[in-house]
Chain A
Amino acid sequence: MNTIIYLDNASTTPTDKRVIKKMLPFFSENFANPATKWTSSLSKLVDEEVEQARLNIAKLLGADPDEIFFTSGGTESDNTALKGIAFKHHDRGNEIISIPIEHEAVLKSLETLEGFGFKIKFARVDSKGFVDPEEIKRLITKKTILVSIMHANNEIGTIEPIEEIGKICRERDIYFHTDAVQTVGHIPINVKSFNVDLLSLSAHKFYGPKGVGAIYVRKGVKVKPFMDGGGQEKGIRSGTLNTTGIIGLGEAARLASEEMEQTESDVKKMRDLLWDKIQKQIPKVYLNGAEIDSRLSNNLNIIIKGIRNEPLLVALNERGVIAGGGSACAAGSKYPSHVLKSIGVKDNDIFGALRITIGKFNKIEYVDYVVQSLNEIVNSLRDLSPFWEGE
């Protein structure tokens, strides 16, 4: 098969051609810097498109446009939220609450903040990856200034009880950040009903370009800027705007608003069919994380007993199927997935985890080919494995 079947959409998605079309004129036809909109008609035109992009994102999140600030992506948004709140409001307290299955952008930022004297408290997650809002409540003290809980996990797709946590934080006047990189453009979000103060998103996770994202900062919430410079984005994010990227992000957001429901249902159908066939054809395969219906519709994270995921991924790649491992894995890998570890998956099994994430450009008719390839590869790897004792 010459076609590439890309099933690693949680890692990144292909940019929608309609998004690229929208971006193209702003590279060389209208390349102006929107900062000079008062004196240049060219800039004014770019500025209008940038503001339209802001509006599109605001609509997608149920926010006001002046609460949206453009960044270089999810990592920068997470850094801005955590460090921005911590350094601005350290006089109110020094405790931050999070969970151990956050993305590295959050975990490493917290590690840095720990070095500055902040106290980081982690709430436990259960074997499905869910955090209990009651535990967040228990961890909160008078010194707590920020709670950061991801909307959905990037490896296992568990959707956290954000609304309840948001409510708890709002009642106690504690800032609440959510990393929604995996959910924006995929499932409905409303920052107002979620009681979110800060939210991170990234364009390339929902068919926009790489290198651009945004942070929602609720009106009235002050953050210390991450970068010093010309004061763009109301001082929250200095630096000439990535106009083409932002316009692409805006278009991706517009398309998501219109098409999300249909995409979600198509993706779920393919994911469910895939899981159904895998279970029927391959013995000793188990789901990691939440039940199939209470996780992101695009996500399948499975343990395949007796084998390691790296040879599996390479062999799938040889057959034109690209999937994810959920962990960097070599024979001598020292980095098993922190997410799977946190939900109690055994080391031996972590190294056999396979993450398949469906996207809107995947075709459901490829499911049979994927399952057949997977089945054949798993069989030969099991023959090779000293850990495999048969069914």
Chain B
Amino acid sequence: MYPKIIIEHFMHPKNVGRLENPSNIGTYETLSKAKAVFYFLIEDDIVKDIKYQVAGCPYAIAVGSILSEYAKGKRIFELAKINKKFLEKYFPVDEDKEECINLPLRAFLNGLSKI
């Protein structure tokens, strides 16, 4: 079963949905048709608002929620440094679930770079 924090975020994900007028959109899709999309409203290099959607496993959904919570109000150069190690501060990253974590992480980072 999943770590508690994953279940918490999975059962009550934050910032779910789409933004009306995003300045940036980041997407990532796997071969097995799992998909994550992040919508950013970035002003003066700061994330003013963020929403996301994931069709993927509970890990992917929870990581999307954790990332979206963390990103609000942060500077994008700071966020661009986020990697697997950063997420390991929140929960143990199981090798089997690496791809599931990669899915929202890549979509998130893709969104930051499209400025």
Q: Which residues of A contact B (CB under 8 A)?
A: 306-308, 310-311, 314-315, 318, 329-334, 336, 347-348, 351, 383-388
Contact = CB atoms under 8 A, between A and B. Distances in A.
A387 B100 CA distance: 17
Contacts of B97: 330
Question: Among the interface residues A315, A330, A331, A347, which one has the most CB atoms of the partner chain B within 10 A?
Answer: A331
B33 A351 contact: yes
Interface string B62-85: 000000000000000000000000
A329 B100 CA distance: 10
B36 interface: yes
Contacts of B55: 306-308, 384-388
20 contacts: A306-B55, A308-B34, A308-B55, A311-B10, A311-B56, A311-B61, A314-B7, A314-B10, A330-B56, A330-B57, A330-B59, A330-B100, A331-B34, A331-B56, A331-B60, A348-B33, A351-B34, A383-B16, A385-B55, A388-B55
A318 B57 contact: no
Contacts of B27: 386
Contact-residue bracket for chain B: 20 to 34
Given A308-B55, A310-B58, A330-B100, 6 more contacts: A315-B58, A331-B57, A351-B34, A386-B53, A386-B54, A387-B35
B109 to A, nearest CB: 16
| Most-contacted residue by chain A among B33, B53, B54, B55 (CB, 10 A) | B55
Nearest to B30: A332
Contacts of B100: 330-332
Given A315-B11, A330-B100, A351-B34, A384 B16 contact: yes
Main SS at interface, chain B = mixed
Interface in B86-115: 96-100, 102-103
Given A311-B10, A318-B7, A384-B53, A332 B58 contact: no
Contacts of B102: 332
A310 B97 CA distance: 13
